[in-house]
Amino acid sequence: MALTKKELAAFEAQLTAWKEELEESQNDTMHQMHEQETTAFPDPADQASAETDLSFDIRIKSRELKLIHKIEETLYRLREGDFGICDACGGDISVKRLQARPVTTLCIDCKTEQEQAEKTRID
């Protein structure tokens, strides 16, 4: 079940818009961080709270950056004709799965198998 040109174009538009939105968010955050003065709070609890907030923001931005890279890889696969093909078994990834998670590289069966293997290793 290969994707149609119309479906591929829709996924490309969706991924491109998503990437641009994330990149804009990254840029906004960087500008905000550079504009903020380093504030020393007289109360150690306030200082700790501010540092915790900053740490949390940095972790979110780090995750967003990883997602941007996944989107770039997905756009590359889309342009190369490998989008929608499972990396593990080489079968087609369902359109519903791609709509739910366009950056996925595994079909639902292979992903389920991978998660079961991870669960077994943890237990």
Confidence (pLDDT) at 57: 83
**Residue 11 lies in domain:** 1-83
Per-residue pLDDT of the chain (123 residues; tens, 9 = 90+): 678 999 999 999 999 999 999 999 888 877 777 666 556 678 888 878 878 888 888 899 899 999 999 999 999 999 999 999 999 999 999 999 999 999 999 999 999 999 999 988 876
Q: Are residues 79 and 90 in the same domain?
A: no
Q: Are residues 47 and 10 in the same domain?
A: yes
Q: Are residues 13 and 44 in the same domain?
A: yes
Q: Are residues 20 and 70 in the same domain?
A: yes
Report how many domains make up the chain. Answer: 2
Q: Are residues 107 and 59 in the same domain?
A: no
Confidence (pLDDT) at 38: 59
Confidence (pLDDT) at 77: 96
Confidence (pLDDT) at 66: 97
**With a threshold of 0.85, does the pTM exceed it?**
no
Q: Are residues 44 and 104 in the same domain?
A: no
Q: Are residues 73 and 46 in the same domain?
A: yes
Q: Are residues 13 and 26 in the same domain?
A: yes
Confidence (pLDDT) at 1: 60
DSSP per-residue codes, the chain:
-PPPHHHHHHHHHHHHHHHHHHHHHHHHHHHHHHHS--PPPSSHHHHHHHHHHHHHHHHHHHHHHHHHHHHHHHHHHHHHT-TTB-TTT--BPPHHHHHH-TT--S-HHHHHHHHHHHHHHH-
